[in-house]
């Protein structure tokens, strides 16, 4: 026993000498309950060691070095009881999934942050508000996806990149407001567009009533209106040539949409699960309709003004029980009685 105690004492003594001679280790632990890495000049927080609870404050310095980064998934594990966090002004980067899945209700992002990583605040269901500082240049894919309690968000002039799905499934989002001086993005009545307003990027999901798309538009981006469950109708201008994937998917209150004669393609799942949409007219200009474009909708009829377009799989799958396709006599590509497994009616418009 005495030999064991002596060996332990010697080991601790040599460890102390090692620490004093070589300095602090590159990987830290138990410093205010944070794991971190040290690159020699600055600190990156990598994990909350015991699982953050309640109000959490990240220190500005650790071992006299500035904390400049919140690492990927730093608070993703075991931090679902964290309600708020204070980040020091020294931080310039928030990593991928850094705070994903936490129960925080508020957060202040420091003025020096330039990057908000992929999925950084994804599934922060209780987050009610966030201010993006004027130094942020990029917002990653799915950065705020599934933030159900967010009601509005402002994009500063500094932001030059917004990733795919950055605000998807924010069910209570009513407006996205963009600084007028932003070089890449703009907003009209709370709807997010590119700067030249040729592409609609995202309509907030709590947007209700009717949305009129500006006449400068040429395309409706993938997921642009997805899950806008309070949206009743959309006016699409004749400048639009394509409707992207899932563009209007899950718009359960959408009762009417007029597809203009300029549109040539309707991508897959474009009107998927639009349960209140009873009728649609496909203009003669449309040459291709993607997979399940109108599947699981409330459609009872679809009228084709021109020749039959190229059809994907299950375009009208699981629509109204009495669903019928109609076309104009003389137009090609259709078969009588049944076409693509759908009941068909031929109309003679000369009478």
pLDDT at 350: 55
Neighbours of 260 (CB within 10 A): 14
Question: Does pLDDT of 49 surpass 80?
Answer: no
pLDDT at 274: 95
Higher pLDDT, 203 or 5: 203
Pairing of strands 34-38, 27-31: antiparallel
pLDDT tens column, 214-248: 888 888 888 889 989 999 999 899 999 999 999 99
How many C-alpha atoms does 59 have within 13 Å on its Cβ side? 17
Fold match between domain 24-192 and domain 208-351 = yes
pLDDT at 85: 82
In which band, very low, low, confident or very high, does the pLDDT at 66 lie, cut at 50, 70 and 90?
very high
pLDDT at 31: 43
pLDDT at 52: 57
pLDDT at 213: 86
Q: Name which of 54, 105, 45 is nearest 75 in CA terms.
A: 45
Q: Is 161 helix (H, G, I), strand (E, B) or coil?
A: strand
Q: Name which of 7, 65, 73 is nearest 31 in CA terms.
A: 65
Q: Where are the domains of the chain?
A: 24-192, 208-351
| Cβ–Cβ < 8 Å for 308, 332 | yes
What dotted CATH number matches 24-192?
Answer: 3.80.10.10
H-run or E-run covering 13: helix 2-22
Reading the block at residue 54, the tokens are 């309640």
How many C-alpha atoms does 206 have within 13 Å on its Cβ side? 16
Going by C-beta distance under 8 Å and a sequence separation of 6 or more, which residues neighbour residue 211? 189, 191, 203, 225, 231, 233, 234, 235
The pTM assigned to this predicted structure is 0.74
Which own/partner contact pairs does 246-250 have at CB distance under 8 Å and 24+ positions apart? Answer: 246/222, 246/270, 246/272, 247/220, 247/221, 247/222, 247/223, 247/271, 248/224, 248/274, 249/223, 249/273, 249/274, 250/226, 250/274
Alpha-carbon span 18 to 289, nearest angstrom: 69
pLDDT tens column, 276-306: 999 999 999 999 999 999 999 999 999 999 9
pLDDT at 349: 67
Going by C-beta distance under 8 Å and a sequence separation of 6 or more, which residues neighbour residue 351? none
Q: How many residues does the chain have?
A: 351
Question: Which of the residue ranges 108-117, 261-270, 338-347 would you say has the lowest mean pLDDT?
Answer: 338-347
As assigned by CATH, the class of the 208-351 domain is: alpha beta
pLDDT at 242: 94
Alpha-carbon span 203 to 201, nearest angstrom: 7
pLDDT at 3: 57
Residue identified by tokens 């496909």 is: 282
Question: Which of the residue ranges 80-89, 113-122, 254-263 would you say has the lowest mean pLDDT?
Answer: 80-89
Residue 339: phi, psi to the nearest 5?
-135, 120
Question: Does pLDDT of 78 surpass 70?
Answer: no
In which band, very low, low, confident or very high, does the pLDDT at 189 lie, cut at 50, 70 and 90?
confident
pLDDT tens column, 139-176: 999 999 999 999 989 999 999 999 988 998 899 999 99
Alpha-carbon span 277 to 255, nearest angstrom: 5
Mean pLDDT of the chain, nearest integer: 86
Strand ranges across the sheet with 81-86: 53-57, 81-86, 106-108, 129-131
């Amino acid at each position: 026993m005495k030999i064991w105690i002596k060996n332990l004492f010697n080991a601790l003594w040599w460890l102390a000498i090692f620490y004093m001679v070589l300095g602090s280790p590159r990987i830290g632990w138990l410093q205010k309950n944070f794991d971190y890495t040290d690159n020699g000049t600055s600190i990156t927080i990598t994990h909350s060691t015991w699982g953050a609870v309640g109000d959490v404050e990240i220190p500005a310095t650790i071992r006299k070095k500035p904390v400049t980064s919140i690492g990927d998934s730093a608070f993703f594990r075991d931090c679902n009881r964290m309600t708020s966090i204070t980040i020091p002004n020294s931080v310039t980067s928030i990593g991928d999934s850094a705070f994903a899945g936490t129960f925080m209700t508020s957060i202040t992002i420091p003025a020096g942050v330039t990057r908000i990583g992929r999925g950084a605040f994804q599934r922060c269901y209780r987050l009610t508000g966030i201010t993006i500082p004027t130094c942020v240049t990029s917002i990653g894919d799915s950065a705020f996806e599934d933030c159900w309690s967010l009601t509005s968000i402002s994009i500063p002039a500094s932001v030059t990149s917004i990733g795919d799905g950055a605000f998807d499934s924010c069910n209570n989002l009513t407006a996205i407001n963009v600084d007028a001086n932003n070089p890449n993005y703009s907003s009209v009545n709370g709807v997010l567009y590119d700067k030249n307003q040729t592409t609609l990027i995202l309509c907030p999901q709590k947007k209700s009533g009717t949305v009129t798309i500006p006449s400068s538009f040429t395309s409706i981006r993938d997921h642009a209106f997805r899950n806008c469950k309070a949206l009743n109708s959309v006016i699409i201008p004749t400048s639009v040539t394509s409707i992207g994937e899932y563009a209007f998917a899950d718009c359960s209150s959408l009762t009417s949409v007029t597809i203009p004669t300029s549109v040539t393609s309707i991508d897959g799942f474009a009107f998927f699960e639009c349960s209140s949409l009873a009728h649609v007219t496909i203009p003669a200009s449309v040459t291709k309709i993607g997979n399940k474009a109108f599947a699981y909708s409330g459609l009872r009829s679809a009228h084709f003004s021109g020749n039959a377009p190229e059809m994907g799989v299950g375009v009208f799958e699981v629509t109204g029980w009495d669903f019928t396709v109609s076309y104009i006599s003389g137009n090609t590509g259709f078969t009588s009685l049944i076409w693509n497994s759908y009941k068909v009616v031929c109309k003679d418009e000369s009478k």
